[in-house]
Amino acid sequence: MKAQTIGIIGGGQLGRMLAMAAARLNLTIIILEPQADCPAAQVANEQIIAAYDDPAALAELASRCDIVTYEFENVPVSAAQTLERSVPVYPPSKALEVAQDRLTEKRFLNDCGIETARFHAVNSQQELEAALADFGGKGVLKTCRMGYDGKGQRVFRSSDDSPAGAYEALGGVPLILESFVAFEREISIIAARAKDGTIRCYDPAENVHRNGILHTSTLPANIPAETAATARAAAEKLLAALDYVGVIGMEFFAMADGTLIANEIAPRVHNSGHWTEAACVISQFEQHMRAVAGLALGDPVRHSDCVMTNLIGDDIMALPEWLATKDVLVHLYGKTEARPGRKMGHVTELKGRKTSSQG
């Protein structure tokens, strides 16, 4: 088999875990990332140290790689389009366009027949007040672009919450007001599509957030089988509509009646899929590399129940206890400084694993 070289735009922990999975498949990895000694470059073959939209760096990446992929959704669309003229880019740049703007994303999902919260575009304080009035004074106001981990958001819980000054407070940029969804729980699904259109979905995870950041993912999610099937069907529709290649993460609100409301999509491997490295034979990282490299997709079946917990900031202090706990897979990201809110690593604890020896 000819050795393939894959370029990854972005050098964070997701790139790191992709590069580690790629190594086992004899794939050569080049990381494009401005920060030297980034988490991904520590385990990759090479790093090009340059901005994501640096024309010379993009030309070098295109000339040296057979395929280019990425590990974060805010890769400049223009950079992906430039690359696409000379090298296959997976997932396609269309997926970046859809995922980077919450309005475009919701409209695309709705066009695919996937339900989302109701929403209004908000481009002034006046539009905000009109939109809030339409939703009975309740809603979640978000920046259309560059929001993640709950950043760039304002929640209106009742008509007593005054919207005065809220448009300017979020930076005077294009906003979206979503209707407030009284969900029972949050779930996500990780799915992969190969070039030939084959789709493989992992089991949905149940997610708990703290301060807007994912805290735990638990498998199985406490949802009926029909709800899991609905999540799978939504992922299949979306992947086909985007002519997608690679792994995608889709987050949903699960309602008490079992219905699902899609919240957002991430055209990349996803934090709520980290459990797959411990509880499946083929992790989301290997699945993504298989998909983009044109190799057969792996079986996403789950062999164990599990809980993945993120180690954020000082959570890393509990590392000795995690290391001493049975059936826990520890994964650290090579970051030296533990700042508040910074993802330092994660642990996945397998539940009720069958063992044949007591080593």
Chain residues binding ligand AMP by CB under 6 A are 117, 140, 147, 150, 178, 180-181, 186, 209, 212, 263-264
Smallest separation, CB 23 to ligand AMP (Å): 31
Q: How far apart are the first and last CA of the chain?
A: 38
Give the chain's length.
Answer: 359
Smallest separation, CB 287 to ligand AMP (Å): 23
Which structure tokens are listed for 345?
């690593």
Smallest separation, CB 169 to ligand AMP (Å): 17
Centroid of chain to Cα 145? 15
The number of CA neighbours under 13 Å toward the Cβ of 248 is: 33
Smallest separation, CB 150 to ligand AMP (Å): 4
Nearer to ligand AMP, 218 or 263 (CB): 263
Smallest separation, CB 38 to ligand AMP (Å): 24
Contact 217, 207 (CB under 8 A): yes
Nearer to ligand AMP, 189 or 292 (CB): 189
State the CB neighbour count (10 A cutoff) for residue 118: 16
Amino acid 99 reads A
Nearer to ligand AMP, 154 or 335 (CB): 154
State the CB neighbour count (10 A cutoff) for residue 113: 11
Smallest separation, CB 290 to ligand AMP (Å): 28
Nearer to ligand AMP, 181 or 319 (CB): 181
User: How far apart (Å, rounded) are the C-alpha atoms in residues 334 and 64?
Assistant: 26
Centroid of chain to Cα 208? 15
Contact 12, 38 (CB under 8 A): yes
Nearer to ligand AMP, 125 or 153 (CB): 153
Nearer to ligand AMP, 119 or 244 (CB): 119
Amino acid 341 reads G
State the CB neighbour count (10 A cutoff) for residue 3: 8
Which structure tokens are listed for 214?
């994912």
Nearer to ligand AMP, 88 or 150 (CB): 150
Nearer to ligand AMP, 137 or 147 (CB): 147
Smallest separation, CB 153 to ligand AMP (Å): 6
User: How far apart (Å, rounded) are the C-alpha atoms in residues 62 and 275?
Assistant: 32
Centroid of chain to Cα 29? 20
Smallest separation, CB 183 to ligand AMP (Å): 6
Smallest separation, CB 39 to ligand AMP (Å): 23
**Dihedral angle of Cα 123, 128, 129, 134, to the nearest 10 degrees:** 120
Amino acid 266 reads A
Contact 156, 190 (CB under 8 A): no
Nearer to ligand AMP, 210 or 303 (CB): 210
H/E stretch holding 254 reads: strand 246-254
